[in-house]
Amino acid sequence: MDVIAFVKQPWPWYVAGPLIGLTVPALLLLGNKSFGISSSLRHICAACIPANIPFFRYNWKKEAWNLYFVGGITLGGIIAGNWLSDPSDMVIHPALAAELSSYGIHSHHALIPADLFSWAALGSLRGSLMMIGGGFLVGFGTRYAGGCTSGHAIMGLSTLQWPSLVATACFMVGGFITANLILPLLLSL
């Protein structure tokens, strides 16, 4: 099989999952570092905001590796999105396509529907709630839970931390409730 064709295809969970999971022991063995993405936002704010806010007064330079890690994730996303993505339309189940169409979402052949997430959609109530409201809730939840889903579910669970188990269970319950109860209400706006 051609290497480029192999990289471009969707990887099965049993390949991608262990690769993500192996990040945890690699970080712990190579430098006793914890995996998590939301902490990098705190480091960026501590480095860039000269305000005298107590939450941002710490030695962020000690955690600069995290900024390189997030930079690599960003660069990897740009490379994958521009040069390694499959240009054909996404194939979704016809029942899902019909349901999305009933909500007025006709751009469901892309990973991110432009009917929901675009500058034009931001001008509508539905688009504003999805992007601005959703972004605020994700930020608030991350701060309230003391970390993001990747930090708690990947790092916290693998190191057997009880708060991470509680946070991950709450993330999952919140996701199920949102996807099945709240999202249909928002989409019908």
Using an 8 Å Cβ cutoff, are 37 and 70 in contact?
yes
Tokens read off for 60: 């962020």
Q: Radius of gyration (Cα) for the chain, nearest Å?
A: 19
Does the predicted model carry a pTM greater than 0.75? no
- The one-digit pLDDT tens for each residue of the chain (189 residues) are 688 777 777 778 898 888 888 888 888 888 888 777 888 888 888 888 877 888 888 888 888 888 888 899 899 989 888 888 777 777 888 898 888 888 888 876 777 788 888 888 888 888 888 889 888 988 888 888 888 888 888 888 888 999 999 999 999 999 999 989 988 888 887
Which pLDDT does position 75 carry in this prediction?
95
Domain boundaries, the chain: 1-85, 116-189
Residues 6 or more apart in contact with residue 121 via CB below 8 angstroms: 114, 115, 127, 130, 131
Closest alpha carbon to 168 in 150, 152, 146, 145: 152
Identity at 168, one-letter amino acid code: T
Alpha-carbon distances of 9 from 3, 86, 161, rounded to whole Å: 10, 7, 35
Which pLDDT does position 1 carry in this prediction?
60
In whole angstroms, give the CA distance from residue 80 to residue 86: 10
Using an 8 Å Cβ cutoff, are 107 and 115 in contact?
yes
